[in-house]
Structure 1
Amino acid sequence: MTDVHDPGPPAPVPSGAGRGLGPFVALPPERFAAEHWDRAPLLTRAADLPAPTHGFGADAVDELLSRRALRTPFLRMAKDGATLDARELTLGGGVGASITDQVSEDRVLRHFADGATIVLQGLHRTWAPVSDTARGLSSALSHPVQVNAYVTPPQNRGFDDHYDVHDVFVVQVAGEKHWRVRPPVLEAPLRGQPWTDHRDDVRAAAEQEPVVDAVLAPGDCLYLPRGWLHSATALGGTSIHLTFGVHVWTRRTLADDLLAAVGRVLDDDLALRRALPPGVDVLDPRTVASAREALRESVLAALDAVRDEDLAAALARGARAAERAEPLGVLAQHAAADAEVGPRWRVRDGLAARWEGPTLVTRVGRVALDSADAAEVGALLAGSSAPDDLAPRLRRRLALAGVLVSGPSSP
């Protein structure tokens, strides 16, 4: 049964959301946030969207499988609703590459010809145009994004009805796929609440009439909030689609960080660190009951002791760990940092920068600065100054720290 509740008011839409959402939805960002985000599916046809920016297709699939030396888990395959053992898809790397689990295109071909679906995982790390598109979407939504590709042979279905624990934007790349979408059996599931915990409910719900019953053609996009049941069948020729998975931050995320911070405060409470008396019966529920009120008072005091800054720092650490900054070329960056004729510099995308006093903390490391340099870098990050305004010494240091990159902005 669907867990129906009031989702509350829509979240505010970040500035720049239109650019990042543009390849996926035709609605204004405010309307998408109010009517669909975390609420309801949305199908957008290719005719209403700009030309794709992901640069992905059949040639990319073949290159990744045959020439990029992929290893599991960057690849998996599924057939009849079950995932194949990774050892069925890999071989050794040969002379000079003592790696035992490189993808074997020959084995993949045999399984694909037998009806198995190819799943290329983590494309936001292995295919540059997909990475750029994913980074734009993540910036627009302020939630981490990962990308997989699903390559399904004709008239086959890779997975049975199921739900995901993250939102997805499905982008059809090649061929056609028939999608059926049904309401959730568990609304807004968390990452620790997979569909396999509700197999019977999912199986029963899969017999209901779908709320979306549509064929996606190349360029079409389907948004699915987490929890919505779905299955898809390839029609005619080979189908390729991308899923941009959005791993949303929730209030439950904040609750976990808050409880962890409360635990650290309780660690400093000497009374709680004392041993229980000899002879205590820890199997007797009355033991807990007698201590419950005192524990409650200690927990409430610890809760009040957690500062907003502590909670914000914990969330920032999670955000920095969830994604990586814009890629940079190691040799090109090193050469540019020491070039006599200065290149054009800009602040690197996706830094998730935060200040801890005069220390700049980002996804790529920490840069300890004196107060004068911190003020200059703060102005740079705020957009009130440009890299050219920095002293060459400071500009070089930020370049080697990966805070600045040379060249035009990524698309």
Structure 2
Amino acid sequence: MSTAPATLRDTAAHTGGGVLEARLTHLGREEFARDVWGRTPLLTRGAGDFSDLFSASAVDELVSRRGLRTPFLRVAKDGSTLPESSFTSSGGVGATVADQLDDTALWRSFADGATLVLQALQRTWEPVAELTSRLGTELGHPVQANAYVTPPQNRGFDAHYDVHDVFVLQIAGTKRWIVHEPVHPDPLRDQPWTDHRAAVADAARGEAHLDTVLGPGDVLYLPRGWLHAAEAQGEVSIHLTLGVHAWTRHALAEQLTRAALALLRDDPEMRGSLPLGVDGPDGELALVRRRLVEALAEADPAPLFHRVRRGQGRPGPLGPLAQLAAVDGLSAGTPVRLREALEARLDGGRLSTRVGWLDFPETDLPVVRRVLDGEVHRSGDLGLPFVERLLRAGVLVPAGP
């Protein structure tokens, strides 16, 4: 009989910890969580050199050579977003989709004062993808990344708030940030600033909580709901925004409610029809409330929580040709490792990941636990049939020559 814990989460994603302290805030996770997270803005001067993450040449490559399509780019000027048709066109022979970025149109818009917003860089630029994956693991909340490229003395958006926390990393140039306290603290994802447009505009005319200029290497953290507006100074400004889409207690309540409703589907009385001629819910509410409270007490939202959480991110890259070569050339000496950012969890004999689930007999569980450590292993030490199965499932990947 196994004495291992019933639930085990992969540790591979934790091997690159320390992003907060090493790259963003100079604070450890515990100190950041206690004093800053979700509470107050934090400005960190000289947090580091971000040239390995992003640069002006990266902007030019993404715009002119990668064949990006919308919505991987937005264009904004004076607080408004320009129509996609103004900066997209056909890709030409062999790539005749109509919404690829038109670098000539983008150049003209940029020269006219528009801000280029490169969206979802965690999908298109590998150094940023690696950083967001590590930060998301460290924080326990999903992270995405945008880049804002603003011409001198221009701004892309008026004062507004975001429904996610942000880390602003100044890459090049300088940008003035004006920050005001929230008019709607801790907004949910379906409570955008446009729901409070008048209050936001009024607050933005008041005294600022923070008025500062960010230079290369500076980082500004803003909790969701804090108002902000930014304007480039005397040169082109490039900054990365890491958006932290925080899980909330309200979101957990939604998961719990869905789990409870799923239980009530198996209750014949709850599936019953309301009486004929009913003109309101009053006569049935007492029963429904009682059964719902009972179901809430019994429901376990954890499986749904983990499933939704896995769905909010993507696993690390997998090359189909390298994977096939690893399967075809599999030998005792083949090095393999757990695929990155899988959000793998072993519950009993089931391994759940972002690429699906696998069931294992108890005799295989010690080997499953070994691969969840994230280290490189020789296939012969794990068992060739076991390794082949996980390679074909996209759970393990080749670890090098």
TM-score (norm 1): 0.89
1:314 aligned residue:
304
The structural deviation recorded for 1:160 is: 0.3
Taking a change above 3 Å as real, the CA distance of residues 55 and 168 of structure 1, as seen in their structure-2 partners, is same
Among all aligned residue pairs of Structure 1 and Structure 2, give the percentage whose two residues are the same amino acid: 50
1:394 aligned residue:
386
Aligned partners of 2:164 and 2:246 also within 8 Å: yes
Partners in 2 of 1:269 and 1:120 — Cα distance?
Answer: 49
Aligned partners of 1:325 and 1:348 also within 8 Å: yes
Q: Deviations over 1:34-59 (max 9, x none)?
A: 1111111111112xx34337531111
Partners in 1 of 2:77 and 2:376 — Cα distance?
Answer: 55
Aligned partners of 2:154 and 2:231 also within 8 Å: yes
Q: How many residues align?
A: 385
Taking a change above 3 Å as real, the CA distance of residues 390 and 114 of structure 1, as seen in their structure-2 partners, is same
Q: Deviations over 1:153-189 (max 9, x none)?
A: 1100100000000010000011100001111111111
1:258 aligned residue:
256
Secondary structure, in 3 states, of the residue corresponding to 1:22?
helix
1:128 aligned residue:
126
2:196 aligned residue:
198
Partners in 2 of 1:407 and 1:361 — Cα distance?
Answer: 22
Opposite residue 345 of structure 1, the aligned amino acid is V
Aligned partners of 1:53 and 1:133 also within 8 Å: no
1:8 aligned residue:
none
Opposite residue 293 of structure 2, the aligned amino acid is L
**Ranges of 4+ aligned residues in structure 1 off by more than 3 Å:** 14-17, 340-343, 382-388
Aligned partners of 1:326 and 1:348 also within 8 Å: yes
Task: Choose the corresponding residue for 2:286, options 281, 288, 293.
Answer: 293
Secondary structure, in 3 states, of the residue corresponding to 2:225?
coil
2:59 aligned residue:
61
Partners in 2 of 1:385 and 1:109 — Cα distance?
Answer: 46
Partners in 2 of 1:384 and 1:21 — Cα distance?
Answer: 24
The structural deviation recorded for 1:329 is: 1.9
Task: Choose the corresponding residue for 1:406, options 382, 394, 398.
Answer: 398
The structural deviation recorded for 1:97 is: 1.3
Aligned partners of 2:115 and 2:149 also within 8 Å: yes
Partners in 2 of 1:387 and 1:292 — Cα distance?
Answer: 61
Opposite residue 372 of structure 1, the aligned amino acid is T
Partners in 2 of 1:36 and 1:20 — Cα distance?
Answer: 12
Aligned partners of 2:343 and 2:353 also within 8 Å: yes
Taking a change above 3 Å as real, the CA distance of residues 343 and 208 of structure 1, as seen in their structure-2 partners, is farther
Taking a change above 3 Å as real, the CA distance of residues 234 and 147 of structure 1, as seen in their structure-2 partners, is same
Give yes or no for the alignment of 1:338 onto 2:333. no
Taking a change above 3 Å as real, the CA distance of residues 328 and 262 of structure 1, as seen in their structure-2 partners, is same
Partners in 2 of 1:243 and 1:316 — Cα distance?
Answer: 26
Matches within 5 A, 1:133-148: 133-148=131-146
Aligned partners of 2:88 and 2:102 also within 8 Å: yes
Partners in 2 of 1:295 and 1:340 — Cα distance?
Answer: 58
Opposite residue 232 of structure 1, the aligned amino acid is A
Opposite residue 366 of structure 1, the aligned amino acid is W
Secondary structure, in 3 states, of the residue corresponding to 1:76?
strand
Partners in 1 of 2:256 and 2:20 — Cα distance?
Answer: 31
Taking a change above 3 Å as real, the CA distance of residues 375 and 340 of structure 1, as seen in their structure-2 partners, is closer
Taking a change above 3 Å as real, the CA distance of residues 223 and 159 of structure 1, as seen in their structure-2 partners, is same
Partners in 2 of 1:83 and 1:243 — Cα distance?
Answer: 18
The structural deviation recorded for 1:276 is: 2.3
Moved more, 381-390 or 85-94: 381-390
Taking a change above 3 Å as real, the CA distance of residues 260 and 347 of structure 1, as seen in their structure-2 partners, is same
Matches within 5 A, 1:345-364: 345-364=336-355
Give the unaligned 5+ runs of structure 2: 1-13
Taking a change above 3 Å as real, the CA distance of residues 194 and 350 of structure 1, as seen in their structure-2 partners, is same
Matches within 5 A, 1:171-210: 171-210=169-208
2:11 aligned residue:
none
TM-score (norm 2): 0.91
Aligned partners of 1:54 and 1:133 also within 8 Å: no
Opposite residue 143 of structure 1, the aligned amino acid is H
Aligned partners of 1:123 and 1:148 also within 8 Å: yes
The structural deviation recorded for 1:326 is: 1.2
Moved more, 205-214 or 379-388: 379-388
Partners in 1 of 2:212 and 2:327 — Cα distance?
Answer: 52
2:4 aligned residue:
none
Opposite residue 110 of structure 2, the aligned amino acid is F
